Chain A
Amino acid sequence: MALEFLTVYWRDMLRFFRFRALLFSSLVQPALWMAFFGVAFTGTISQLGAPASAPPGALYVPYLTFMAAGIMALTTLFTSLFGGISLLFDKLWGLMREILASPMPRTHILIGISLSGMTKSFIQVMIIMLFGIVIGVRFFVGASLLHLAVSILGILLFVGVFSLGFLFMSATISMRMESPESLQAVITLLSLPLFFVSNALYPAEAFPPFLRVATAANPLTYVVTGIRYFAIGPDFYALGGHYIYSLMDVGSALLALVIFALVMFVVAYWTFEKAVVT
């Protein structure tokens, strides 16, 4: 049986739940972010598009709801970008040698650590959704139970593929770096542009053309599209913009994320096969 990756998964989750402080902060942080950021901005930004100006048939969406999808995506981005760091620590503390000297195929390290990173993102995303709804995010409005289930699965699908892509990237960087500081530097360098050149917290439609190209190349854009489609709906009005997502839009967004994840997997696979750790 080729299920040894579950061993790596088991150990990483064990550690995740063992460190209460880390667990607590990883759960509370996104909720706090959402509470402060969302509440602070909702007052000012919502004036941009009053409910009255919504086109007929389009659902009016307040900023808090619009932003919640973005916070879910950004939280997943950061968690995933740092998800590979345990590999770096294993490497530095010599623990990786035990694993590399074992008969377990090296891809299983990659798969195990990525699945546990994905699980952590799922937990965070569910918490943000729950907490968001409590503080007034209007997700899944009027959805039947079946519709709700499908929507949540859809969100998890997008979040899952998106997080795997960045987890593979993070694993690759971790295996190539020599210190946590350099990993931190690389990730900060990566995450800032991703963060700003996306539709996560504000509409990207008003960007100048070269930024729009960057937005189209940013996986965040696609995961946010997917989350909004499933959480809010295919046709809504927010921040003075009218959003219409066809099934085609959503399908190609998912395809873009799958391609991104596959490319990252290949790069990570290659890195692991060649890894020498002594």
Chain B
Amino acid sequence: MESLLSEPIIEVRDLSHSFGDVVAVDSISFTVMRGEIFSFLGPNGAGKSTTINVLTTLLPIQKGEVRIAGHDVATEPALVRKAIGIVFQEETLDRDLTVWEILEFHGRLYSMPRDERRARIDEMIRLVELEKKRDVLIKHLSGGMKRRLEIARGLMTRPEVLYLDEPTLGLDPQSRLRVWDYIRQVNREGTTIFLTTHYMDEADSLSDRINIIDHGKIIASGTSDELKNALGEDMIYLETDDDAKTTGILRSLPEVKDVKPSFKGLSVTLNKEGTKTLPVILDRLKEGGIAIRSANLKKPTLDDVFVHFTGREIRG
């Protein structure tokens, strides 16, 4: 994976965007590597869609610099548009066209040659499992089907970067999982994904890197684990056959901050990242001849992270 992530594909430096007095995006900088799933996690009005609109040339650059796939958004918008696919937050399907016509129109907008276009339409309809709806008008599709069609449309031109603005907003749990699957599949095939969401689980399960955005600023970024570990103090709950001896051994380890008796065993607070420390601890205890009945690593959730950085729940 590391080698795939070596080349920057989106470079944003000091980007700001205002609507009158409202500062929607406030001097943010970030770099997305080719092949990544990169996400913006933030509450309503955080500036996620505005960022996407600037990155997709729909809004002019007011301040800052943006390069997509090697092209400057300000001076080479046409090349940028060729390189990207977008699934907008709001529905953007013509209700009076059929599924096939929506894709045909899109392919023609991007000047795809006829044969390639037709083959690709069939492939996309199969990918999002809309074969039976091919000649059905959009107004007769369900919300989930429309969303899947929009994703198919975004992918149709084989973009280098696919922007997904809240792709599963309003979908039922089943459709969400399916959409997640498409996103992962497309990403495995090499498309870089720029995702915005206000769902913790979505950011958590899809992203290589998460950026928490609030009031137009990126206030924290990293992998899901890094963000959670940044809160420090992962906890391990242990049940052993000899709590006194265990406590003694653990207290001597540099990774361990504190050991306290808890409800049915020991609660161990860590100085270091829990996922890497847990095996070390288990090894030491085994060496000390202790039988471990259960070990439970409790990591802070992304919700905890969000509350920590923004000082409030995401729904607020």
Contact = CB atoms under 8 A, between A and B. Distances in A.
Contact of B110 (A95, A102, A277): A102
Nearest to A274: B60
A97 B97 contact: no
Contacts of A11: 94, 97, 101, 105
Contact of B108 (A4, A18, A97, A277): A4
Given A10-B108, A94-B90, A101 B97 contact: no
A181 interface: no
B58 A276 contact: yes
A57 interface: no
Given A101-B86, A276-B60, A278-B53, A94 B92 contact: yes
A278 B50 CA distance: 9
B108 A7 contact: yes
Nearest to B93: A95
Nearest to B80: A103
Given A4-B108, A94-B88, A103 B78 contact: yes
Contact of A276 (B59, B86, B97, B111): B59
Given A11-B97, A276-B58, A97 B88 contact: yes
B226 interface: no
Contact of A103 (B88, B92, B94, B110): B110
Nearest to A19: B96
A14 B92 contact: no
Interface in B142-156: 153
A101 B53 CA distance: 9
A105 B81 CA distance: 11
Interface in B69-126: 78, 81-82, 84, 86, 88, 90-94, 96-97, 101, 105-106, 108-111
B109 A99 contact: yes
Nearest to A7: B108
Contacts of A276: 58-60
A19 B95 CA distance: 12
A100 interface: yes
A248 interface: no
A244 interface: no
Contact of B81 (A1, A4, A93, A103): A103
Interface string A3-20: 010110011001100110
A32 interface: no
Contacts of B88: 94, 97-98
Contacts of B269: none
A10 B114 CA distance: 15
Interface residues of A, number: 25
Given A1-B111, A11-B105, A276-B59, A102 B81 contact: yes
A100 B91 contact: no
Contacts of A278: 53, 58-59
B223 to A, nearest CB: 30
Contacts of A7: 105, 108-109
A4 B113 CA distance: 11
Contact of B82 (A97, A98, A103): A103
B240 interface: no
Given A14-B97, A18-B96, A98-B92, A4 B58 contact: no
B58 A98 contact: no
Interface in B56-70: 56-60
Contact of A98 (B60, B84, B106): B106
A115 to B, nearest CB: 15
Interface in A85-124: 93-95, 97-105
Contacts of A97: 58, 86, 88, 92
Which of A6, A10, A14, A99: most chain B Cβ within 10 A?
A: A14
Contacts of A1: 111
A87 B111 CA distance: 21
B154 to A, nearest CB: 10
B111 A4 contact: yes
Contacts of B84: 101
Interface in A223-278: 276-278
B58 A102 contact: no
B58 A101 contact: yes
A70 B105 CA distance: 38
B58 A95 contact: no
A14 B53 contact: no
Given A14-B97, A94-B90, A94-B91, A102 B109 contact: yes
21 contacts: A7-B108, A10-B108, A11-B97, A15-B96, A93-B92, A93-B94, A94-B88, A94-B90, A95-B94, A97-B58, A97-B92, A98-B88, A98-B109, A101-B56, A102-B106, A102-B109, A104-B109, A104-B111, A105-B78, A276-B58, A278-B53
Interface of A: 1, 4, 6-7, 10-11, 14-15, 18-19, 93-95, 97-105, 276-278
Given A104-B110, A104-B111, 11 more contacts: A7-B108, A11-B94, A11-B101, A11-B105, A14-B97, A19-B96, A97-B86, A99-B109, A101-B57, A104-B109, A276-B58
The 3 closest A-B pairs by CB, nearest first: A7-B108, A102-B109, A103-B81
Interface of B: 53, 56-60, 78, 81-82, 84, 86, 88, 90-94, 96-97, 101, 105-106, 108-111, 153
